[in-house]
Structure 1
Amino acid sequence: MRPKRLNVKITIPFVGEISGEWEPDDTERRAAWELYVELVTRVSVVPLPPGEGSAREALSSMYSLFGTVRELLKRYGPDVAPPGDRDEVSLGALAVTVLNNAVRPVLTRWHPRLTVRESARPAGRSAVEHENSWEEIDALRADLESLRRVLVELAQVLGAVAGAADLIRVSESVPRQHPADDGAHRAAGR
């Protein structure tokens, strides 16, 4: 069921919130679906537990959202960013505001610092091991978690506009098992 009008509220740490009413048309619904799929299939909306995964991969995934949103906005044109009152929200306004006020500051802060750290990796040490031994890794992961929450809020709004199931909650409800913990996968060579 696709809502005719939504009340939207997305909180961005240290900035405030984006809020207002959104009355999406079919073009915005299609664009919302595309961006929703991009968000729910990325590491950027999945928790990154300490010692697991790669902060570099998370940063790279978030960086790629700029290209994704740019292409989406160009493809759908001004229909996804119509002029309106201050209390009205559009897909274009939400996406650009989240990118510029939530994603960009995290990337600006951490991308150069992590690059410096990576350049000091000694031979024979894995990139992930080197990353996880960094004295700033906990602060980086905390910022990634804050950003993840913003992106989850955005994804939930987009999913509602598109009339889709909450694919984030569906995937979170499936118990995760590390492949190395599953003897059947190891035995099968997967």
Structure 2
Amino acid sequence: MLSMVLGAVVGICVYAISRTGGTYLFAITGGLAGVLVAVGLDAYRRAGRLTEVRVTVPQLSELTFVVNNDARQVAWQLFVESVTRVSVQRLEDDEGLLREALTSLHGLFATTRDILKVSRPSTHATGGLTVEYLAVNFLNLELRPLLTKWHPRLRTFELAHPDRPESEWAQAEECRADLRDVQAHARDYVLAFARLAGVRDAEAMTDATDLQQRSVRLPGQAPS
């Protein structure tokens, strides 16, 4: 109903303008153009508006970041890619495979880099850091050292002993210990991405165990 009314009003305005000539026509046209420009500029300012966000991440302490809508979208993509992988889910000694975990982290490294490559650089703001800064540190301080150290070592064992389970690998326990440390740090980075993106209930989304233990009704799910 509202759309019909608005359509009728627009139609009457267009007809009235078309019947107007001379100076009045130019004045009305100029006024409408000014309104459209003002609306466009306001939308642009809203999209580019910078917001300060304070987050705490391992090895970096508490930092102040500045984000706009573009940066929030990048942070959201990084959060989704991270939270859906083994990177933030603790792998106990009797659970899962190290090969699967390292492969997942390697994929996360590549995906994070690809997201940054296709995204526009954040708007520069004095005194604030950007989502790219956080993502690059996540790659270089957490993922890269783990993958560089353990990926080739596990591969060497697999090639030398193709019929033996990785549980017989002499360095399996040490590798799992390092993996747990990185997963703990990665969780803080993932929550930082969520904070920059403005995600609500990020901790519940990140902690799969907590999600299973609590009676959380997902969107569209009927009450139990």
- TM more than 0.5: yes
- Cα deviation for residue 17 of structure 1 reads 2.0
Q: How many correspondences in the alignment?
A: 161
Q: Which runs of structure 2 are paired with 1:61-72 in the superposition (5 Å)?
A: 61-72=104-115
C-alpha separation in 1, matches of 2:54 and 2:169: 42
Q: Which has the larger radius of gyration?
A: 2
Determine what percentage of the aligned residue pairs are the same residue.
34
Deviations 1:11-34 (A, max 9, x none): 1xxxx3254201210001111111
Deviations 1:16-61 (A, max 9, x none): 3254201210001111111100001001111101121011111111
Aligned counterpart for 1:48 among listed residues 85, 88, 91: 91
Higher helix share: 2
Letter in 2 for 1:94: L
Aligned counterpart for 1:100 among listed residues 140, 148, 155: 140
Please name the residue that 1:137 is paired with.
172
Q: Are the aligned partners of 1:47 and 1:145 in contact in 2 as well (CA < 8 Å)?
A: yes
Q: Are the aligned partners of 2:131 and 2:196 in contact in 1 as well (CA < 8 Å)?
A: no
Partner SS state of residue 120, structure 2: helix
RMSD: 2.0
Structure 2 gap ranges (5+): 1-49, 214-224
Q: TM-score scaled by structure 1?
A: 0.77
Structure 1 gap ranges (5+): 177-190
Q: Are the aligned partners of 2:54 and 2:62 in contact in 1 as well (CA < 8 Å)?
A: yes
C-alpha separation in 2, matches of 1:160 and 1:122: 44
Q: Does 1:9 align with 2:56?
A: yes
Q: Are the aligned partners of 1:106 and 1:143 in contact in 2 as well (CA < 8 Å)?
A: yes
Q: TM-score scaled by structure 2?
A: 0.66
Partner SS state of residue 114, structure 2: helix
Letter in 2 for 1:49: E
Deviations 1:51-81 (A, max 9, x none): 21011111111111222122211221212xx
C-alpha separation in 2, matches of 1:148 and 1:103: 9
- Cα deviation for residue 106 of structure 1 reads 0.7
